[in-house]
Amino acid sequence: MLDHIKGFVQGVVLAPIVRLFVALKISPDAVTLVGTIGVAVGALAFYPRGELLAGTVFITCFVFSDLIDGAMARAVGRTSKFGAFWDSTLDRFGDGAVFGGLALYFAGPGDSDLYLALTLWCLVTGAVTSYARARAESLGFTANVGIAERADRLVLILVMTGLAGIFSLDMLIYIALWILAVASTITVVQRIWTVRRQALAEEAAS
C-alpha cells in the first residue's frame, strides 16, 4: 500500500519539484541534508512545547525530501553507494529526532513516565531494526523481513501525532506507540531469527 502511495507521490506530486531542483543543479545529497535538518528542527522545536500539529506539519514539509533526493539522483544518473549510505545514515537522525521530540513532550507537557519510556523503546527498536538488516547484509545474509518497516513507523506516528494535536487527544499517540512498540519488537525478533537460520544453514553446508 505504502509503495503504491510512494510511487504516486514521487512520480506525480513531487515530479515538478524534482525537475526544478535538477534544473537548478541542486545536489541530491544537499536535499537529503536539508530535509533531515528540517525534520529534526520540527520535532525538537515544536513537540517538546506541546505544539503537536504545528510540529507534524513542519516535519511533513521536509520528510518528502526522502522521496525527492532519490528521484533526483535517478534523473541525473548520479545514484551511488555513498548516496545510499548518506541517505540511510541521515534517516537515523531524522527518526531519532521525531521520537526524541515526543519523549521530551512526555517529559514535559505530556507528563507521562510510561509513555516517555515507551517512546524511547520505540526509538531504540526502530534503530535496531535498521541496524539488524544492515549488519546482516554486511555478513552476506538477508534480513528484509518484518511487519514494521521505517516508512510504516514514520507514517503511523506522524499521522497519529498530528491528529492528537488537532483533537487534543493524546490517546491517539498512546495507541500509535503501543502498536509501534509491539510491531518493532516483533520485527527485530523476526530479523534475528531469519539471520540465525541462514547462519546455521551456512555452517551446516560448510
Active-site residue set: 91
Count helices and strands in the chain by DSSP H and E runs: 9, 0
What is the three-class DSSP state of 48? helix
Residues 6+ apart with CB under 8 A from 101: 42, 43, 44, 46, 47, 48, 55
Element (H, E) at 45: helix 28-46
Binding residues for Mg(2+): 66, 69, 87, 91
- What is the rounded (10 degree) CA torsion for 10, 15, 20, 21? 10
Cα(111)–Cα(64) distance, integer angstroms: 31
Cα(54)–Cα(47) distance, integer angstroms: 8
Binding residues: 29-32, 66, 69-70, 74, 80, 87, 91
Binding residues for a CDP-1,2-diacyl-sn-glycerol: 29-32, 70, 74, 80
Distance of CA 137 to the CA centre of its chain: 19
Question: What's the residue count for the chain?
Answer: 206
